[in-house]
Every structure is written in C-alpha cells, then in structure tokens.
Structure 1
C-alpha cells in the first residue's frame, strides 16, 4: 500500500467501550472524534415477533395509511402486507424489471399525501440499449390492486453492462420533489462516470414528480447534469429524512469505508478518489487517501463494514430511541442504531444480529420497528 502521509490526530479516550466489531481493514485516522467506532450505547432489551412470512427476496417496504404495507420483491413483484400479516397477490401494472445480479425491483415509498393522491414511487433495474440502469417510476395505487398512470420519472445515464451497484432508494418530499439514490454500477475502480458531472452514475439526484429537474439542483444552468443533487457516491442503499426534512444516506464502501452522509446540494463525497476503505483485492482506493481537498467528509464510517441497506429515523414512542437512526445491516446483520447530537454520531448499538441480512426498516405507530430481510420474513422488533 502507498505510504500514509496524513498527520496523526489524537482524540480523548472514549467514555465507553466501542461496539465489538473486529479489526479494521485500513489504518486511516478519522478526521474528527467519533467519526468511526463511537462509544457503545447501553444494550436495549427487545423482543421480536414474526409479522409476515413467505416473501420472496423482499427489498423495500413502506407503510400505507390503512395500516397495510407495500413491499417489493427483487424478482419483480410488489405486494401488500395486510394489517393481519397476510400477503396479497402481486400488484399489476409494474413495468418490466431487469432481474439479475443485484438488480431487480428495489425500493418503494408512498407519497406524503397518499390519502389524497394515491401516488406510489419505486426504483428498479431497467434494461436499455447498451446495458442496464437504475430507474425510478411512479403510479397511482387503485383499490383493485393495480397501479395506473405508471411512468418513469428518472432513468440513469449512461447505461452500464453488469449487475452491480444499482443503489437505490426513492424519497418523495412534501414539496413535490423526489430524491433518488444511485450506485456506481461497479465502475468505481475507474471512477470516470462517478466523478463525471454529465453522468448520473454514483449520484443522488432530485427530480420533480414529472421527472423534470428540481429548481434547487446545483448544476442547472452550469456544466453538469441538471438532475444531480450530490456526487461521489459508491452505492447508496439507504436514505431517510430527519425531523427537519434533511436527507441522510448510507452507502456501501469496499473493504471498509461504509459511509453515513447528509448529502448537500453540489457537494462531492469523493468516491473513488478517496475512501476510508481499501479495494477487495487489498489495493488502495485511488491514491490510498481517506480525504482530500474538494471532497466532503462522511458524518460517520464503518471499518469493518456493516453492509448498510434501508434506514429510518425513529419517531416512535420508545423515548430512549427517539431521534436515533436505525440502519438495516446485511453483514453482520440485524439493526445498527446511531444516536446523533448536533449532526454527529455520539453512540452506536447493534440490535438482533441473529436476524441475519436485513433490507429495510419501518417505524410503526405503536413504537415497534418492522424489518424485512433475505430470509423472506417481516419481523417486528419491540423495545422493552
């Protein structure tokens, strides 16, 4: 590996032990205190109960006002989980989905005004000329289980061959705009498309509901793609709004370097020029540096990784978790809870790792949390 030339930064000893997680893959020094390996939070006593079974590769979930849930299956189906845990037949009206590798039917999220507009948003892998892309679509959910007025509101550009790193989450806002997160499509080692501002590969984009650029996007009227909100992302598989309406994301790093970010307009988060991880083959990412001028620091990073997926801010009735960030983990599995103060992480907890690979998390009105995972179940986690 290349010689490290960064100055050593010494922080006061943590007031509590760190979460047990094994040795780091890289030897980088964090930029500020608690940027990684924050003190372990007291263990929360929880119990779990299976809510629904028989799902085939569930990937995204969101609540409907009726007490039901929309859930996607990566193989191309979207279903409703009823309030009693029963699962409906697939909804009709979805576009053709490119299934293969990490691609398929991905996230789902309902409109903030669903009770009036019936709008649903989802992301999926789409075959186009030259390869596959991440796409986001919208449609109106009808009482008969069909989606109507279906249309793409975003199609990633350019297409890339291969089946990796599609992202992707979709977050509709009350102002009529929609965030869509993308991945680098496995092109990260070269970085050409991720750092190319004419490309929507490795970006967070923001569009209106009809697919036009959001008026606050930084590249409107400048060189660069007018759908881009932020850039330099590897594979953003988690996104959520905090209580103030700010977007937060989590993305997969290589070996080490999973990141929590709060993407801001026009900001570049550095992949693959800088990273707190290393490549899977053991070589350096970029020039072997975790930071450089012109690139934003992550709010938090993990090494070794948690392989983050969906996430949500906890706004339920359990007071000790209120305002905390819950992140579904694929490896080692379970939930990761982060406590935030003034935009920084001050503590971390690992919850129910025995649940295995989790894909998404939803906070329920009764204060419990519903998670879905590769085992095909939807499980309630109930803090005690």
Structure 2
C-alpha cells in the first residue's frame, strides 16, 4: 500500500548558489554557470512510499498499466505493480557477477514493447580474466519469464576489481541502443579510456541485435566501431533530451560531469578533469582543460555522485524540460534548468532520504525515485 511519507512546503530561495560546501580544486570554469549555477526557488513536494523491501534497486523501466520493471544489484529483476506490491524474481536472466559496484544494473524496454515484449538490461559479467560490463536483451512473457536472451554488447579488457561498470542503456525508436560504460577503476594512470580500440570509458552505440550502425563515427576508420564518444570516467546516468543524448559521470574528488556526447569526440578523462584524485594529487598534469578535449556542459565540485537521470516532460509547468538527477552522495534529487544548452539554475531536494540511484518521470507528473536502502518514493511537485 502506498503511504504518505511527508508533505514538504519549502521556503523560497533564489539567486544565491546551492549550498554545497568548499570545492576540492581551484579551477575556474570555462564559461559562466558551468558550475554552481544560481539556486532556483524550492519546489513544494509531496513524498509517499510507493514500494519497499527491495534489495539494492538500481534501474527502473515502465511496463504500462502502472507496472514497472526494477533491477536489484544482487541479480534479481522484479515487477512493481500499480499498488506498490513487488513480484518474485523473474526467470531467465544470465549469470550476474554481483561484486563490488557490479551486479544487475540498468533496465529499459523496447520502444515497441507493447508489440515485441523486448527488454534490455546491463550487468556485470564474469569472463576469462575478470569482469566486464555487458548489455543483453530478451523477450518478457506474460508469466514473468525471459526467453531468447542474448548479449548485444560485451566490454573488452576484463578487470579483476569491482569498480566503475557504468552503466545505462537506452533503446531508441530508430532501432539503435545507447550503452554507457565506465573506466573499470583505471584511475589517472589508465590508458584504455583514451584508446579508441577499447570500450572502457565510452558511450557505445549498437543496433538492437548487437550489430554496428553504419553511421557510427569509427566505422571504416581506425577505432572500435561500436564507440560513439570517449574520455569518460564512470557514466551512471543517461537520458534523451534537447539535441539527443545526455550523460552524467562520476568524477574523483570533484569533477562530476554533465555532457552531451557528440560523435567521435573526446571528453578528457583521465588527461583532464575539474576534480582531483581521492588521495589529493592532480589528475593527469593537473589541468581542467586542454586542446582536443570537449568541455562538460556542467560540473560539480564537491560531487553529487550521480545515478540515473531523466528530463521532466510531465504537466507541472515549473519543471517542464528540466533535468532530474539522482544523487548518491550527499544524496537527494538534483534539478537543473537548461536553456540553449547551458545550465541556468539548480535545486536540491530530498536531501534527507539517503542515496538515490535512479529516477522515473510518470505520465501524471509525479516522479519515482529509487533508494539504495530498498524503497521507491513517489514525489509529486506542487
């Protein structure tokens, strides 16, 4: 049963920056409001518990009729019903390597799900030599079983650590699929992220059957033809918004980045960063920018440790077109207002609920947020 958790009528604050603490690095932004944009007026919100009792929920996807698929990082895929009740684990998933930050990660459904019943997901996969990020697809039967399961992407160069798998997956109406990967914890000494023949720290674009689209930037030239863009650290958020794909990635100490990845372009990690390493040393040669690398649309220092994100397209007018981002640390829900490709305002909400892993906008204007602690909250603005 859905129960009301809180009604928040918050004071209006505007123009000042969002309170976020002292920066770790002293880099100046490349342009105005590339970081610490003005705080927007706080939104009054109603918060209810929609579902609970989950084990590390990671990704959510709508099935229609008020139902949702939700992944649990230890390896279960479940259905959440319209009344908030939770199904048992669905059968048919491949083996999932639930180690460290790895496990069963994102989930999405085909744009034609009502007809084809195809489901996509990403997960940590055990292969010879270690672990990799993989993406798979299957057909969901009405009895809750998955069939015709197969991988459509398997990352190269396995690592034995359990860090930085990414990853989000977005199937598109044109039959292509976006997949984000992490650098697998390579740190500032890693070379695979800048290697165009490796899928570490890359935006990947494949067809729904795993083949390569003919218009990918490295088709017919040097480089892995699955790659769309490179130089990313650990992308745990991706969404379709103005102009196409947007991604968000974890920096080290400072330097979380919001990007709008373009074909064949390089976003800098681990050569340049607006953050510093966890131990306090410089990333690379201690530069935030350099020739040949793209600037982030926006960055945070200190970090928000981003999870999933989604552009708001519901009926609440004040949020229309805004980007909603899950925050793991310090926790909460971050709202960005974007105009002409630049961030012009920021709001922090739900700062007392803990680590938020993913976000889903509903047709009625409410928002579901997944908590690492095992709950799904329904947040209604206004």
Distance in 1, Cα, partners of 2:170 & 2:217: 19
* 1:224 alignment partner in structure 2: 223
* 2:331 alignment partner in structure 1: 333
Q: Quick check: 1:92 aligned with 2:91?
A: yes
* 2:293 alignment partner in structure 1: 295
Contact 1:249 1:260 in 2 (8 A): yes
Distance in 2, Cα, partners of 1:290 & 1:228: 24
* 1:52 alignment partner in structure 2: 51
Question: What SS does the aligned partner of 1:354 have?
Answer: coil
Deviation at 1:132, TM superposition (A): 0.4
Deviation at 1:125, TM superposition (A): 0.1
* Deviations 1:141-188 (CA, angstroms, capped at 9, x unpaired): 100000111000000011111000000000000000000000000013
Contact 1:191 1:271 in 2 (8 A): no
- The correspondence for 1:353, drawn from 341, 345, 351, is 351
Matches within 5 A, 1:278-293: 278-293=276-291
Question: What SS does the aligned partner of 2:352 have?
Answer: helix
Structure 1 unmatched runs, 5+: 1-14
Contact 1:191 1:273 in 2 (8 A): no
| Count of residues in Structure 1 that have an aligned counterpart in Structure 2 | 369
Q: Quick check: 1:240 aligned with 2:239?
A: yes
Contact 1:46 1:382 in 2 (8 A): yes
* Deviations 1:178-204 (CA, angstroms, capped at 9, x unpaired): 000000000132221100110000100
Distance in 2, Cα, partners of 1:335 & 1:89: 28
Distance in 1, Cα, partners of 2:28 & 2:242: 31
Matches within 5 A, 1:64-213: 64-213=63-212
Question: What SS does the aligned partner of 1:326 have?
Answer: strand
Q: Quick check: 1:261 aligned with 2:259?
A: yes
* 1:315 alignment partner in structure 2: 313
Contact 1:80 1:88 in 2 (8 A): yes
Deviation at 1:16, TM superposition (A): 1.4
Distance in 2, Cα, partners of 1:222 & 1:188: 28
Distance in 1, Cα, partners of 2:366 & 2:205: 31
* 2:367 alignment partner in structure 1: 369
Distance in 2, Cα, partners of 1:230 & 1:219: 10
Question: What SS does the aligned partner of 1:312 have?
Answer: strand
User: What TM-score comes out, normalization by structure 1 length?
Assistant: 0.95
RMSD: 0.8
Contact 2:188 2:271 in 1 (8 A): no
Change (3 A) 1:72 1:382: same
User: What TM-score comes out, normalization by structure 2 length?
Assistant: 0.96
Deviation at 1:243, TM superposition (A): 5.1
Distance in 2, Cα, partners of 1:151 & 1:243: 32
Question: What SS does the aligned partner of 1:212 have?
Answer: coil
Deviation at 1:120, TM superposition (A): 0.5
* 1:378 alignment partner in structure 2: 376
Q: List 4+ stretches of structure 1 deviating above 3 A.
A: none
Distance in 1, Cα, partners of 2:215 & 2:71: 30
* Deviations 1:7-55 (CA, angstroms, capped at 9, x unpaired): xxxxxxxx81000000000000000000000000000011100000100
Distance in 2, Cα, partners of 1:269 & 1:243: 19
